[in-house]
Amino acid sequence: MSSPSKRRDMDVMKLMMTDYKVETIQDSVSHFFVEFKGPANSLYSGGVWRVRVELPDAYPYKSPSIGFVNSIYHPNIDERSGSVCLDVINQTWSPMFDLVNIFEVFLPQLLLYPNPSDPLNGEAAAMMMRDREGYERKVKEHCERYAKADDIQSQQEEASDDEDVDMSSDDEMDVEGI
């Protein structure tokens, strides 16, 4: 069995070898950003988000913290902090999962199948249940407004200009369980 640090390094390298753009912060394999595209055939299709990832020292035995940097309208994602309410990351995380699972399975499934009965964004959940067409319009408007590849590039440039990228704010990085 390999040590947690070797496993962390291996998982980050595995993620970097996929089609995802990974931007480390100060060359750290514990703090980085991933460019995540909305799943095809979903309301989020065409959207591009910058997702913060923070790996705890005990990773993979302890789940990573993830959060959307640019705004996304979804019942299970806090619009302000970007925190994600996803059971598999917080409650049922297993060392059998890796970072690629998060971006290829867990997040796409969350976007495809929101759970309005246990929301982090109450407004989005209520709208989804009461006015499905209005909800779908608002999701698409958010994608157009906040989730363009150009927006991601601007955020990357701002972050590289800011030498003091602080990812230590626990309340912004907390992952909520369903």
Q: Catalytic residue positions?
A: 85
Q: How far is CA 101 from CA 88, 90, 95, 106, in A?
A: 10, 14, 11, 6
Per the document, the length of the chain is 178
How far is it, in rounded angstroms, from Cα 14 to Cα 60? 14
Coil vs helix vs strand at 32: strand
Q: How far is CA 18 from CA 35, 45, 76, 101, 142, in A?
A: 11, 19, 26, 12, 27
How far is it, in rounded angstroms, from Cα 177 to Cα 156? 29
The separation between CA 86 and the C-alpha centre of its own chain, rounded to angstroms, equals 10
